[in-house]
């Protein structure tokens, strides 16, 4: 049958715009559209500003004829669409960012001439991007991985990028090994999997042949690699930097970001289920916190030391696989970082932001850390490849917010060029900027000497002592998590000799750890310990600051309670619960059998945030079970309700419950005899206050040996 040549009704621009006739829009300062109470709908234009008459149909010869090549609007529109995706980052591809500010506490003129540290209360605009390292842009948030913690500070003397991680050490000592590390941890090139996972042969083969990685492995196999939220993790500059004051005097420094809300991680079993329930869990958490005015905050702290301390320290401060324990050198608070605004557009800002370790203002300088030196060399190439032009600094998110003047010109996508006759200096016309020996960046005048050689210093040779110190500094439960993580990861390795080599390194860290992993893998015989370049130190003091559990916040602020309700929920208890959570600075979500909500005992309607199928307990820091007795029979038929209770108990969370909810525990395989201090009956507002008061402990770790969930 021949197709009709009659145009389809409702495909004109006028018909399309009729569906939004009641919207009133205006264009903001940044070009974005805002709905307003009055005003006309702006005319759609091409990128050149030409008004568009029809955005629904391409230009054709007749209604069914061929499309004409002269349709410049279609050509421009499809051309731009075809080029919407830029190459994703090789590492740190999965990222999320926010705007905010850094506020200096007091002048730090003794140590640095950097402008942002000269005045008390000085506020510097900031943009922060959090990320995973190994996965692609489409991977899930709760992969076991290092988290990038990159801070761009728009100072009055240029941009300063502190491009760090949530772990203070790294896998390698020299940047020349970075391509090998990343090739190894990424998906295997022949199969193109696994995605965003280190649990495969290539990664562990590389690690087993690279002893310098063993300290970092302890961190990555710990709960630090599965944080509960960006808001609950530390950040580190990783390397040793220099501060330089107005007299040209240098002080070594390590940068620490301490979260105001304290540290918190999840269990591995929990992380796997969160990835299934909400792969955007970390993104959603940051977005929600900022949108609701609960602005995340970190304190910047300096570990400051001189050359004499560096010479006396047990390890080389230029070795990125080592840290300085906070008990040995307490960090000094210098300011706070607050995130208070989400980007107006993810791509324009979070995706196009370009961080580079070499971006420092006068007063900040580098050490000879070979990993840092390599990063300083590499990052410019990275941005050129990703953003397609040496003019990536013209993109607003990357542009300085202070005045800037230079003679750089032309190139792909140049947004601004020098004005005037002279595009060089020196020139005879008195045009353009000139250098300033007084104000400009001047590197610290260190003296260097020595032969040109490809080698590592002997002071970098101890690969196991700090790994041992980190492991022994964890609580018993945290050490168990490290062992379980190693067993899981190595169980995915198909080559037996690789598994054995890793265990041989573990023998140099801790005999019991190696034995747990060897037993968990079913090794027929334990290998001998790997050769250590230098004897492993047995005398390093444990550092409580390295444990997440030992440094818990002891408050529920910033956390979220999941409240399971049904029709007939006790209105008095629910109100008391909401009030108590508000006083703690915590939030909650209502989970009901239906997303529409439920009617409470007073006849009031309660809007639900989630239906039970979409709100599993892994999304919450604790749960409260408040169903009415009449609803229990129906809830017992729901497998998701069983999982809601079983997972919360297995993940050592606090559980508040009304008497009617007790059968839900039995359905989840939890007898009343198994109830512990974390399972709290709620019969009155007083019980509710007691329950909320205990939530600051976050977990009931004494339960873990009984439930055996990792």
pLDDT, tens digit (0-9, with 9 covering 90-100), for 435-468: 888 888 889 988 888 887 888 999 999 999 999 9
Higher pLDDT, 328 or 41: 328
d(CA 454, CA 372): 17
pLDDT score recorded for residue 57: 84
Task: Say whether pLDDT at 110 is over 70.
Answer: yes
- Same domain assignment for residues 147 and 130: yes
> What mean pLDDT do residues 540-560 have?
97
Residue 478, in any domain of the structure? yes
- Same domain assignment for residues 596 and 539: no
Residue 567 contacts residue 596 (beta carbons within 8 Å): no
Which tens digit of pLDDT belongs to each residue from 77-109?
877 777 778 899 999 999 999 999 999 999 999
Residue 564, in any domain of the structure? yes
> What CATH number should be reported for the domain holding residue 497?
1.20.1370.20
| Domain membership of residue 702 as a residue range | 554-707
The domain boundary residue, chosen from 371, 394, 417: 394
Interhelix angle 268-277/476-491, rounded to 10 degrees, is 60
pLDDT score recorded for residue 31: 38
- Same domain assignment for residues 564 and 687: yes
Among residues 392, 377, 540, the alpha carbon closest in space to that of 472 is found at 540
Which of 92, 200, 215, 282 is the catalytic position?
92
* Window from 228-237, 383-392, 553-562 with minimum mean pLDDT: 383-392
Among residues 278, 146, 283, the alpha carbon closest in space to that of 222 is found at 146
> What CATH number should be reported for the domain holding residue 278?
2.40.180.10
Which of 104, 159, 165, 166 is the catalytic position?
165
Identify whether 83 is a catalytic site residue: no
Tell the residue number behind the tokens 């005097």, with chain if given.
Answer: 249
Residue 132 contacts residue 139 (beta carbons within 8 Å): yes
pLDDT score recorded for residue 431: 86
Task: Say whether pLDDT at 32 is over 70.
Answer: no
> What mean pLDDT do residues 368-397 have?
92
b/e for 283-308, b at 16 or more Cβ within 10 A? bebbeebbeeebebbbbbbbbbbeee
d(CA 641, CA 106): 53
Q: Please, what is the average pLDDT of the chain?
A: 92
Residue 63, in any domain of the structure? no
Residue 57, in any domain of the structure? no
The domain boundary residue, chosen from 532, 549, 566: 549
Residue 181, in any domain of the structure? yes
- Same domain assignment for residues 480 and 586: no
* Window from 1-5, 58-62, 181-185, 312-316 with minimum mean pLDDT: 1-5
Q: For the chain, how many structural domains are there in total?
A: 3
pLDDT score recorded for residue 78: 77
pLDDT score recorded for residue 25: 36
What is the full DSSP assignment across 513-540? HHHHHHHHHT-SSPPPPPPPSSPPPS-P
- Same domain assignment for residues 545 and 559: no
- Same domain assignment for residues 558 and 519: no
pLDDT band at 709 (very low <50, low <70, confident <90, very high): low
* Residue count (the chain): 710
Task: Say whether pLDDT at 21 is over 80.
Answer: no
Identify whether 505 is a catalytic site residue: no
d(CA 209, CA 228): 32
The domain boundary residue, chosen from 529, 549, 569: 549
d(CA 565, CA 178): 51
pLDDT band at 423 (very low <50, low <70, confident <90, very high): confident
d(CA 83, CA 63): 29
* Window from 17-31, 383-397, 474-488, 610-624 with minimum mean pLDDT: 17-31
Among residues 423, 391, 394, the alpha carbon closest in space to that of 407 is found at 423
pLDDT score recorded for residue 18: 33
- Same domain assignment for residues 531 and 666: no
pTM of the model: 0.90
Residue 433, in any domain of the structure? no
3-class secondary-structure state, position 341: strand
pLDDT score recorded for residue 3: 36
> What mean pLDDT do residues 280-289 have?
98
- Same domain assignment for residues 203 and 292: yes
Task: Say whether pLDDT at 55 is over 80.
Answer: yes
d(CA 619, CA 613): 12
pLDDT score recorded for residue 573: 98
> What mean pLDDT do residues 114-141 have?
97
Residue 486, in any domain of the structure? yes
> What mean pLDDT do residues 168-194 have?
95
Residue 425, in any domain of the structure? no
- Same domain assignment for residues 210 and 258: yes
pLDDT band at 39 (very low <50, low <70, confident <90, very high): low
- Same domain assignment for residues 569 and 535: no
pLDDT score recorded for residue 127: 98
Most confident of 117-131, 383-397, 420-434: 117-131
- Same domain assignment for residues 266 and 120: yes
Task: Say whether pLDDT at 54 is over 80.
Answer: yes
> What CATH number should be reported for the domain holding residue 594?
3.40.50.880
- Same domain assignment for residues 218 and 250: yes
> What mean pLDDT do residues 239-257 have?
97
């Amino acid at each position: 049958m021949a197709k009709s040549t009659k145009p389809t009704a409702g495909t004109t621009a006028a018909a399309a715009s009729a569906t939004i006739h009641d919207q009133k829009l205006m264009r903001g300062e940044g070009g974005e559209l805002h709905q307003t109470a009055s005003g006309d709908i702006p005319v759609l234009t091409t990128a050149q500003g030409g008004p568009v008459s029809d955005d629904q149909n391409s230009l054709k010869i007749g209604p069914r004829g061929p499309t004409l090549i002269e349709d410049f609007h279609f050509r421009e529109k499809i051309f731009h669409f075809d080029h919407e995706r830029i190459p994703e980052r090789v590492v740190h591809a999965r990222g999320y960012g926010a705007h905010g500010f850094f506020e200096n506490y007091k002048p730090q003129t003794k140590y640095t001439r950097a402008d942002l540290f000269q005045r008390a209360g000085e506020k510097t605009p900031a943009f922060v991007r959090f990320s995973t390292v190994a996965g692609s842009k489409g991977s899930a948030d709760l992969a076991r991985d290092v988290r990038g913690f990159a801070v761009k500070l728009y100072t009055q003397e240029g941009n300063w990028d502190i491009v760090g991680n949530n772990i203070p050490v790294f896998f390698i000592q020299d940047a020349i090994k970075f391509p090998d590390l990343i090739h190894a941890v990424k998906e295997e090139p022949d199969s193109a999997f696994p995605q965003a996972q280190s649990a495969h042969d290539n990664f562990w083969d590389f690690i087993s042949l690279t002893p310098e990685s063993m300290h970092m492995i302890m961190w990555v196999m710990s709960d630090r690699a599965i944080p509960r939220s960006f808001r609950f993790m530390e950040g580190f500059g990783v390397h040793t930097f220099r501060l330089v004051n107005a007299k040209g005097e240098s002080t070594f420094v390590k940068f620490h970001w301490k979260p105001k809300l304290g540290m918190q991680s999840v269990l591995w079993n929990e992380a796997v289920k969160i990835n299934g329930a909400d792969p955007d869990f970390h993104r959603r958490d940051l977005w929600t916190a900022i949108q609701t005015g609960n602005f995340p905050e970190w304190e910047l702290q300096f570990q400051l030391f001189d050359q004499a301390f560096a010479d006396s320290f047990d390890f080389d401060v230029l070795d990125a696989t080592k840290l300085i324990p906070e008990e040995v050198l307490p960090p000094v608070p210098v300011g706070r970082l607050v995130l208070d605004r989400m980007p107006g557009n993810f791509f324009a800002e979070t995706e196009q932001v370009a961080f580079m370790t070499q971006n420092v203002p006068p007063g900040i300088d580098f050490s000879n850390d070979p990993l840092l030196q390599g990063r300083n060399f590499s990052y410019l190439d990275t941005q050129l490849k990703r953003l397609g032009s040496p003019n990536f600094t013209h993109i607003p998110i990357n542009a300085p917010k202070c005045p800037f003047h230079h003679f750089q010109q032309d190139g792909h996508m140049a947004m601004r060029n020098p004005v005037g006759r002279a595009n060089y200096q020196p020139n005879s016309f008195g045009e353009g900027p000139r250098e300033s020996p007084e104000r400009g960046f001047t590197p610290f005048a260190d003296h260097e000497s020595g032969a040109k050689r490809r080698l590592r210093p002997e002071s970098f040779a101890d690969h196991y002592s700090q790994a041992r110190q980190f492991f022994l500094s964890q609580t018993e439960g945290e050490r168990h998590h490290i062992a379980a993580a190693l067993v899981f990861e190595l169980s995915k390795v198909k080559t037996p000799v690789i598994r054995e080599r890793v265990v041989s390194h573990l023998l140099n860290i801790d005999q019991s750890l190696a034995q747990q992993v060897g037993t968990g893998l079913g090794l027929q015989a334990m290998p001998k310990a790997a050769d250590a370049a230098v004897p492993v130190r047995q005398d390093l003091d444990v550092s409580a600051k390295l444990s997440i559990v030992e440094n818990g916040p002891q408050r529920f602020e910033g956390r979220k309670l999941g409240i399971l309700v049904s029709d007939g929920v006790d209105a008095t208890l629910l109100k008391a619960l909401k009030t108590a959570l508000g006083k703690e600075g915590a939030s909650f979500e209502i989970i009901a059998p239906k997303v529409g909500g439920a009617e409470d005992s007073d006849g009031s309607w309660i809007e639900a945030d989630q239906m039970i199928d979409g709100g599993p307990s892994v999304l919450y820091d604790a749960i409260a079970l408040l169903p009415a007795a009449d609803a229990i029979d129906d809830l017992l038929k729901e497998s998701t309700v069983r999982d809601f209770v079983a997972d919360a108990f297995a993940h050592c969370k606090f559980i508040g419950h009304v008497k009617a909810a007790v059968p839900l525990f039995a359905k989840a395989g939890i007898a009343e005899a198994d109830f512990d201090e974390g399972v709290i009956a709620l019969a009155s507002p007083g019980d509710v206050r007691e329950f909320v008061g205990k939530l600051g402990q976050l977990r009931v770790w004494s339960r873990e040996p009984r439930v055996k969930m990792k």
